[in-house]
Structure 1
Amino acid sequence: MSGDRRFPASVYSRGTEPDARFTLANERTFLAWIRTALAFLAGGVALEVLGLDLHPGFRVAASLLLVAVGMLIPLIAWIGWMRTERALRENRPLPASLMGITLGVAVTAAGVLVILAIVLA
């Protein structure tokens, strides 16, 4: 299949075809982030649905944060996949990931909200 008929054309129309192992590793990384997003969504839903005896305001805030980040992760993962694939195709250094700081801040914030929900229950 030619590069101009593959999706997304903005990725596949550039450079040359890299070693398939690198492309497949990039795809596995993308899928791992999708699993992470599902875990965030499940955690946010579980925190709210289980009806734990926590401060309701902080519990809802933590749940909403986890669900919102769970919805954001696939977007960041897709952008990261495209940036990495382009770099592979153009024989450039791999770009830095945007995911680390996003998840670090989100997990810390959710943890603080859950601690507050427990302490203030």
Structure 2
Amino acid sequence: MDPSRDEPDPRFTLANERTFLTWLSTSLALSAGGVAMAAVSADVFVPWMRTVLALTLVSLSALCAAMAYPRWRRVQRALRGGTPLPEPALAPLLGYGVAAVAVLAMVLILMSR
């Protein structure tokens, strides 16, 4: 058997690596958002709600960073094995989590006016 046939097209491997790095960038942005939310002055949001929003953002950041490499590894195995790509389990959690934070922040902004 020709070993070069087992290797996926390098473009797919590099695209998988870029996706991994994008998950890490997203994690960093979520972490920065959480820190920024924690630093917002007390007169903008109710203190306990600022804390909830900050912790939610930082938790999403940690989840995103922790799951980026296992996702990369599963996709790489699928590419090398010629099997279907795994479902992106993290995407819905991240999408709904960020949406929930945005909705809560909007409600708080409207209530503070």
The interval holding the TM-score normalised by the smaller chain is: 0.7 to 0.9
Given candidates 60, 72, 83, the residue that maps to 2:74 is 83
Question: Within 1, Cα distance between the matches of 2:41 and 2:85?
Answer: 44
The 8 Å contact of residues 47 and 63 in structure 1, kept in 2 or not, is answered as yes
State the aligned residue count: 107
Residues 1:114 and 2:105 aligned together: yes
Quick one: which amino acid aligns to residue 41 of structure 2? G
Q: TM-score with structure 1 length normalisation?
A: 0.79
Q: For structure 2, which runs of at least 5 residues remain unmatched after alignment?
A: none
Q: Could you say what secondary structure the match of 2:21 adopts?
A: helix
Question: Within 2, Cα distance between the matches of 1:35 and 1:86?
Answer: 23
For 1:1-121, list aligned pairs within 5 A. 16-51=6-41, 53-121=44-112
State the Cα distance separating 1:113 from its structure 2 match: 2.7
Report Cα offsets for 1:87-119 as digits up to 9, x if no partner.
001011111111221112211221233234334
Q: TM-score with structure 2 length normalisation?
A: 0.84
Give the structure 2 partner of residue 4 of structure 1: none
The 8 Å contact of residues 55 and 118 in structure 1, kept in 2 or not, is answered as no
The 8 Å contact of residues 58 and 116 in structure 1, kept in 2 or not, is answered as no
Task: Give the RMSD, CA atoms, in angstroms.
Answer: 1.8
Q: For structure 1, which runs of at least 5 residues remain unmatched after alignment?
A: 1-14
Aligned-pair identity (%) = 43
